[in-house]
Amino acid sequence: MVPFPRLHFFMVGYAPLTSRGSQQHRALTVPELTQQCFDAKNMMCAADPRHGCYLSCAVLFRGRMLSKDVDEQMLNVVHKEKKEWIPNNVKASICDIPPKGLKMATTFVGNTTAVQETWKRVAEQFTVMFRRKAFLHWYTGEVSEQFYLKLCFPLYSISKQAHAYCNIFSHLLLKVMDEMEFT
């Protein structure tokens, strides 16, 4: 799940995100679960996965369903997303035992470059607080102000590196597609 050592931040998602009471009146299918699973509203992170590239992802389906349906939906996701996918980076598994109170559910874990949004936001908030010297009085006797600048630098570095990998994937994908057309 971690093809590049510095990009090891996962986004987690769950579907269906509905109340258990309303779940009894709604029949879910594998395509609906898959669509909800990859939706930004079902992610447990304040970042939109449409603004980045998936490096890898794993989806755990729970409940009674056909493995053929799951495989078809995973292939559809790879082809529909039109993102720069690393070959064979989507994994799916099925557990026949559904969660308590539900007939079907999915859990999603994905490594995406969209996490850079979260790191940028944290770095900006840190910079604002550091400029105002907020909460700095608790630490001034123990460490220097340069220490705080060293803390902030990796956040910007990770964000820039995620963006760079996303650009590299798009160039590599175009190159591979061009080679496939002429061979």
Least reliable range by pLDDT among 28-37, 113-122, 155-164: 155-164
Task: List, for residues 45-63, the tens digit of each pLDDT value.
Answer: 888 888 887 888 899 999 9
Residue 136 pLDDT grade (very low, low, confident, very high; cuts 50, 70, 90): low
Least reliable range by pLDDT among 13-27, 98-112, 118-132, 156-170: 156-170
Q: What is the pLDDT of residue 183?
A: 41
Residue 143 has pLDDT above 70, yes or no: no
Q: Which two tokens stand for residue 171?
A: 């160039």
The answer to whether 73 and 22 are in contact (CB under 8 A) is no
Q: Which two tokens stand for residue 48?
A: 């939109």
Mean pLDDT (the chain, rounded): 77
Q: What is the pLDDT of residue 56?
A: 86
Task: List, for residues 95-134, the tens digit of each pLDDT value.
Answer: 999 988 888 999 999 988 888 888 888 888 888 887 787 7
The pTM score is: 0.68
User: Rounded CA gap, 61 and 126, in Å?
Assistant: 38
Percentage of the chain exceeding pLDDT 90: 21
The CA-based dihedral angle spanning residues 78, 167, 114, 10, taken in that order and rounded to the nearest 10 degrees = 70
Buried residues in 11-21 as b, exposed as e (16+ CB within 10 A): bebbbbeeeee
Q: How many CA atoms lie within 13 A of 70 on its CB side?
A: 21
Give start and end residues of each alpha helix (H) in the chain. Answer: 20-23, 30-37, 67-80, 116-131, 145-182
